[in-house]
Amino acid sequence: MVRSSKPSVGLWRPAEAMVGGLRSMSGGSHDFLQILCIEARRRVSEGYYRVPRIEEGLRVEGLREAIAKCRGNAVIAEFKRASPSLGAISSSARTDYVVRAMEMGGACGISVLTARERFGGSLEDLKTARAVSKLPILMKDIIVSEEQIRAAHELGAQTVLLILRAFKRGYTEGTLSQAIRAARGYSLEVLLEACGRDELLEAMGTDADILGVNARDLSSLKVEKRIHEEAVRGVELDDRILVAESGIETAEDIRRLRSLGYRAFLVGTSIMRSVGVEAKTRELVMA
């Protein structure tokens, strides 16, 4: 994918215009996704995502292309230090060492958590991953602002994750279509995440490059592996690339999901917790 050098496409309202909304969202009870979005909007307002552009390196293919060309199972290996449900996973892991091991294990792409709170992520982890890997990189964050999309571009990512439910519930600065257009303006692909069949059908009606089904309900943080199966039941995927997210631990999980029509698999915790990152990645790729 040829990377654009365009300035901000300006399709969303500026982050400063949303700061007042933090206070109005912070009272009462919420689903957990709302809390994650509050924290993301606070990071935006604090300037966390205002980063300088890294030096251009060699051309890196897009994640969609990498998935389509993958000879084994298309595993998107995720570098994550912690999660809201499990707490610390591998808080002291060296980004360069782990990402190289994931690539050597045959991963088709790398996902990097960049949210500080609850995930222990950092933009520096993304920057390091880009420096040491030739694979397409997915910036995984709770995207609520165009400023985050711009940061993904500046730090060398090829893809951003957008959560359909966050846009449907109005937790973001703009609409989903605006976010997708903003990503396109920065020459980024969009992985649009759904949870369940209804959301998947809605996602299929968008211009997202890649679709994902998360077996973890971000409103409650519960993982229900049956969601992967129920979401695709009776759904004609045609040529859409579908990624299975969450709850993937074993080669058998990969085989089961593949039989359901999933073409790629986003795996983080089981790889990060394994004794050998390269070996675990290869096990899933070769399943």
Residue 162 near residue 193 (C-beta atoms within 8 A): yes
At 13 the pLDDT is: 55
Mean local confidence (pLDDT), 254-266: 98
- What are the structural domain ranges in the chain? 61-285
At 285 the pLDDT is: 98
How far is 145 from 148, CA to CA, in rounded Å? 6
181-225: per-residue pLDDT in tens?
999 999 999 999 999 999 999 999 999 999 999 999 988 899 999
Please say if 6 is a catalytic residue.
no
At 26 the pLDDT is: 43
At 3 the pLDDT is: 44
Question: Does residue 238 carry a pLDDT above 90?
Answer: no
At 136 the pLDDT is: 98
Mean local confidence (pLDDT), 30-36: 89
Mean local confidence (pLDDT), 71-87: 93
86-113: per-residue pLDDT in tens?
888 877 899 999 999 999 999 999 999 9
131-164: per-residue pLDDT in tens?
999 999 999 999 999 999 999 999 999 999 999 9
Please say if 245 is a catalytic residue.
yes
Please say if 73 is a catalytic residue.
no
Q: How far is CA 131 from the centre of its chain?
A: 19
At 87 the pLDDT is: 80
- Of 111, 127, 246, 283, which is the active-site residue? 246
At 128 the pLDDT is: 97
At 12 the pLDDT is: 56
At 90 the pLDDT is: 78
Please say if 78 is a catalytic residue.
yes
Single-letter code of the amino acid located at 112: V
Confidence of residue 63 (pLDDT cuts 50, 70, 90): very high
User: Which CATH number is associated with domain 61-285?
Assistant: 3.20.20.70
How much is the pTM?
0.91
- Of 73, 90, 111, 214, which is the active-site residue? 214
Confidence of residue 25 (pLDDT cuts 50, 70, 90): very low
Please say if 154 is a catalytic residue.
no
- Of 39, 73, 80, 133, which is the active-site residue? 80
- Of 245, 278, 280, 283, which is the active-site residue? 245
Confidence of residue 55 (pLDDT cuts 50, 70, 90): confident
Pairing of strands 216-217, 222-223: antiparallel
Least trusted range by pLDDT, from 23-27, 44-48, 204-208, 283-287: 23-27
At 58 the pLDDT is: 73
Would you say how long the chain is, in residues?
287
Please say if 168 is a catalytic residue.
no
